[in-house]
Amino acid sequence: MQIINPQLIQQAQPGQTGKFIFNDSALVFFPTSQQHNSIKLEGLNYEDDYRGNALAGTFGNKRIDIRFHRDFSDEHVRTIWGRVCAEKEVAFLQHWEVFYQGRRL
């Protein structure tokens, strides 16, 4: 799994928030000043109305919130997030609360 800009979440201070998009192959973190659909990488893009191949999310205060995407079941999201947490640079995320469409994963 490719992790891009992990320092944004590694260095987040209490109360600081950020955004990310991810799929089976990559995850990219970016500031809240950018929109999810403005991030374009080969093989990874989030588009409104479920047209992209990525999930969108936000982070802050040791909590991850992932938006619903009709092409990603709860189990699929759980599996991908487990792979994210297995990556050394973001392994600390395994201790954060994770929600998908408002439901705890």
- CATH class for the region spanning 2-104: alpha beta
89 and 11 Cβ atoms separated by less than 8 Å: no
Domain regions of the chain by residue span: 2-104
Q: What is the pLDDT of residues 29-81, one digit of tens each?
A: 999 999 999 998 999 999 988 889 999 999 999 999 999 999 999 999 999 99
Report the relative pairing of strands 103-104 and 97-100 from DSSP bridges.
antiparallel
Output the pLDDT for position 19. 97
Mean pLDDT of 7-11: 93
Q: What is the pLDDT of residues 29-40, one digit of tens each?
A: 999 999 999 998
Q: What is the pLDDT of residues 84-105, one digit of tens each?
A: 999 999 999 999 999 999 999 8
Dihedral (CA of 34, 36, 37, 42) sign: positive
